[in-house]
Chains A and B, each alone.
Chain A
């Protein structure tokens, strides 16, 4: 599915007073699902809201479906669907009432009843928005983003705080949107979500994109992988190390638990097991750990907690 970028951000800078939220960010999102991943305060929401036309860049250019989101807003708005991080609904409105209303603002909306059914919003009944559960509010916001049959949907943390079933339902909908040719830009804290859904992941930190690629590319590159096994305590790690390729490390983490870090491939696995055979060691619980996006994310963005 190669085509023109649906979102093209170049050298975007956005400041709030003296605080720089986004500093020279470049992002090109192609058709499909793009996940924007990053810690709190990284600039995810600012970037997305600039694409939605809510914020005017201090410098840099933003094009969404080839349009300027601020100057060509009237042309762009019918073609995009927006799910805000929270709110967006009259506190006294019922879920179906609000969804029907948003549908009326569009020329060819989806079947509202089917969408209500699909997202399990039927149980909301006559309850007003302010009395809905957090999960119901989230799913309503998602429904409002897709009901107008947009080409491109922006979802700002669509599954934050959802229970596992509701999260699955949201993921399934995103997959169906993708299959039917709708592009999706979603921000998330959840690595699993990005791995599950995204064709492309952009990791943002400190107001810049610091890594971008498919989940597989990101997991392959950079980070080392790990091989672990247990055996008798006190094996000769120095001897093991000699048997391994030069760029590997080996250590006994706790008595009897060993870790080899490096480029883990079949060759390395064979080297370790044959060393064990030579030394009369039965390697119990031998395991190879693929790096997850979470490892990559923590490695790139640093492990310290941020406020």
Chain B
């Protein structure tokens, strides 16, 4: 081989792995923040619910300040909107439009793509938590409890919702994912202890609904932030089971194209 050097003379090589993952995570985050429907889901709806239900007495949130009941629920909703709904819809369409396929032949390994997706979800959640926390404080929120327990709940909640979101995105058609993810978002918003206390569904309903990941997350966050409870092991346990089941099923059934 001669060493003639033209514009296109081959010089292949993968970029360093951390750089690839960082670039991928940055791109995915930009795509999410640019998408109007996604912003509606992840920013506008949680913010509106927090402001509206704190200031207008629409739902009976029980004893105490409404904002102290609502903020943990809305934080749980924010996690679900990003890790589950948003990620499912985005990934479903990436699969449909061959983005996942094209990236699969790039130097970025598949696990690197998944790591980038997770990083992008976490960055979005951090932005959401900052925004909602500031608004909640402005509405007179007075949180309690151990920040470490809150962090643990948010991380396990993210894992549980990501597994379920990716399972949906990797098995259903993009349109079906779009419809189903929005429907699930709405149902869990109502029946997951986000703005409506679970007690309203009767003892049996409360028991069953309490096993949902959104209920475990909102209940756990409320125990800590409102009542200053220690580590809510029961809720963490429920989230851990969902996370293991969801991620394992997604790993097994996810189809890249």
Check B105–A82 contact: CB distance below 8 A: yes
A251 → B minimal CB distance (Å): 51
- When C-beta atoms are compared, the residue in chain A nearest to B257 turns out to be A54
B56 at the interface (CB under 8 A from A): no
Residues of A within 8 A of B7 (CB): 110, 114, 176, 180
Contact A107 B99 (CB under 8 A): no
CB-contact partner of A110 in B8, B16, B94, B99, under 8 A: B8
- Does A228 make an interface contact (CB < 8 A)? no
A180, B6: Cβ atoms under 8 Å? yes
Taking the complex as formed, is A106 at the interface, i.e. its CB lies under 8 A from any CB of chain B?
yes
In the complex, residue of chain B having the shortest beta-carbon distance to the beta carbon of A154: B105
Main secondary structure of the interface of B (DSSP, over half): loop
Q: Is the interface of A mostly helix, strand, loop or mixed?
A: loop
A84 with B98: CB separation less than 8 A: yes
Min CB gap A26→B, angstroms: 24
Map CB proximity to A onto B76-110 as digits: 1 under 8 Å, 0 otherwise: 00000000000000000110011101101111110
Interface residues on B, range: 35 or more
Q: Does B130 belong to the interface (CB within 8 Å)?
A: no
Bound CA span A203–B48, Å: 61
A101 and B102 form a contact (CB under 8 A): no
Q: In the complex, which of the residues A54, A89, A97, A102 contacts B106, with contact meaning CB atoms closer than 8 Å?
A: A102
Task: Tell yes or no: B12 within 8 A of A by CB.
Answer: yes
Assuming the A-B contacts A82-B105, A105-B106, A148-B107, are A87 and B12 also in contact, with contact meaning beta carbons closer than 8 angstroms in the complex?
no
Instruction: Tell me which residues from 29 to 52 in chain A have a Cβ below 8 Å from any Cβ of chain B.
Output: 52
Cβ A88 vs Cβ B97 within 8 A:
yes
Assess whether A77 is in contact with B10, with CB atoms less than 8 Å apart: no
Across the interface, do B23 and A107 meet the contact criterion of CB distance under 8 Å? no
CB distance from B88 to the nearest CB of A (A): 16
Contacts of B257 in A (CB 8 A): 54
Residues of chain A within 8 A (CB-CB) of B184 are none
The one of B8, B20, B101, B106 in contact with A146, judged by C-beta atoms closer than 8 angstroms, is B8
Bound complex: CA of A93 vs CA of B30, how far in Å? 9
The interface bits of chain B over 30-48 (1 if a CB of A lies within 8 angstroms of the residue's CB, else 0) are 1100110000000000000
Tell whether A104 is near chain B: CB-to-CB under 8 Å.
yes
Complex CA–CA separation, A82 to B8 (angstroms)? 15
Residues from chain A with a CB closer than 8 A to the CB of B11 are 107-108, 149
Q: Is B62 an interface residue (CB 8 A)?
A: no
Closest to A52 in B: B105
- What would 9 A/B residue contacts be, using CB atoms closer than 8 Å? A54-B104, A90-B31, A93-B31, A101-B24, A105-B15, A105-B20, A105-B106, A106-B15, A176-B6
Chain B residues with a Cβ under 8 A of chain A:
1, 4, 6-16, 19-20, 23-24, 27, 30-31, 34-35, 93-94, 97-99, 101-102, 104-109, 257
